[in-house]
Amino acid sequence: MKLLVTGGAGFIGSAVVRLAVARGHQVVNLDALTYAANLANVAPVADSPLYAFQQADIRDLAALDACFAAHQPDIVMHLAAESHVDRSIDGPAEFIDTNITGTFNMLEAARTYWMAQGRPQGFRFHHISTDEVFGSLPSDPSVKFTEATAYDPRSPYSASKAASDHLVRAWHESYGLPVVLSNCSNNYGPYHFPEKLIPVVILNALAGKPLPIYGDGSNVRDWLYVEDHADALLLVVSQGQLGRSYNIGGENERTNLQLVETICAILDQLRPRETGAYADLITFVTDRPGHDARYAIDPSRIRTELGWRPSVSVEEGLERTVHWYLENEDWWHPLLARQGVGQRLGTT
């Protein structure tokens, strides 16, 4: 199978690229290399004969047409996006251009290519999206996002992802493009860019800096280890039903405060501080505007139709993640030196 993966130099895309190559698939990684990208994320597969890199911007339709013609993929996995909620509130324009217009371009380039190829049976366009399109849930633990939950995005990021989901469904209904979609909860794990909550907490803790938590830390997220997400995505793209979406979650709901306290406890074990516990560094900061209270995924469809389950609990996944950051300072140290990184806290 030859996969064209967009955003393959980012956090989740690179996990997909590494796993797909490890499973023997040919992969073309199409990425514009924005601030969020890092080719070190794909260094483990960069020398593989199965791997190719194409620097291109999804806002440039001609570049996408050329990429499809040159590489002739069997499958498209579309992850490239602007992904940071706080940045979307500060400057929404790039989110509209990349997430909406960029997805439109990807659909058009894929449609042109698919028709020119004689509409091959096995072709798939997999659009990777977020549970944030569904808005915010009440605290009642029995209420979760299903694939039938009405869209209710509340940030420029989630609104742009919601718009892109609608475009993908429309291209299936209007043109018959063979699409599948997935909407996933918060990911964490190795190679996570240090502006998101978990790497910010780990790296601030190691530097003895305050561990910032929005509001009172009661926002609930459903955490999924990134390698479990990559595994689910390869399953959805190969076995998912056309035109259907799959919610992917970790079944690991935690408040932000619980999550940070767990990371602190792991660090207390692995790298004890000389002057007290890491949790002493926790600091509550002014909340983000419109901060969604709770996200939780009902993963019944992917479990029953495709037999998928996450392989690790959040405690196991966090322990692996903390180990990874302790062992990979060469990866994160240069990123912290970049201006502004680590100053923007996010939960996604």
- Report, as residue numbers or ranges, the catalytic residues: 131-132, 157
C-beta of residue 90 within 8 angstroms of C-beta of residue 156:
no
Rounded to whole angstroms, the Cα distance separating 334 from 329 reads: 9
Cα→Cα distances 81→36, 63, 84, 127, Å: 10, 17, 9, 11
Least CB distance from residue 119 to ligand NAD, whole Å? 26
13 counts as binding ligand NAD under rule CB under 6 A: yes
User: Does residue 153 bind ligand NAD (CB under 6 A)?
Assistant: no
Nearest to residue 266, comparing CAs of 214, 213, 315? 315
Q: Match 């909407």 to its residue by tokens.
A: 183
Largest CA distance in the chain: 67
According to DSSP, the residues that pair with 28 across neighbouring strands are 4, 52
- Residue 249 interacts with ligand NAD (CB under 6 A)? no
- Residue from 79, 106, 73 nearest 3 by CA: 73
Residue 7 touches ligand NAD, criterion: CB under 6 A: yes
Kindly tell me which of 14 and 26 has the beta carbon lying closer to ligand NAD. 14
Q: How far is the CB of 106 from ligand NAD (least distance, A)?
A: 9
Asked if 187 touches ligand NAD (CB under 6 A), the answer is yes
Q: Give the DSSP H or E segment for 78.
A: strand 75-78
The residue (of 25 and 84) whose beta carbon lies closer to ligand NAD is 84
As measured in angstroms, the least distance from the Cβ of 275 to ligand NAD is: 33
| Chosen residue from 102, 153, 178, 299 binding ligand NAD by CB under 6 A | 102
Of residues 119-148, those binding ligand NAD (CB under 6 A): 128-130
**Which residue among 4, 12, 202, 282 contacts ligand NAD (CB under 6 A)?**
12
Is 59 a residue that touches ligand NAD (CB under 6 A)?
yes
Site membership for ligand NAD, residue 186 (CB under 6 A): yes
H helices, E strands: number in the chain: 12, 13
| Residue 219 interacts with ligand NAD (CB under 6 A): yes or no | no
Give dist(CA 79, CA 207) in Å, integer. Answer: 32
| Residues lying near ligand NAD in the complex (CB under 6 A) | 6-7, 9-13, 31-34, 36-37, 57-59, 79-83, 98, 102, 128-130, 161, 184, 186-187, 193, 348
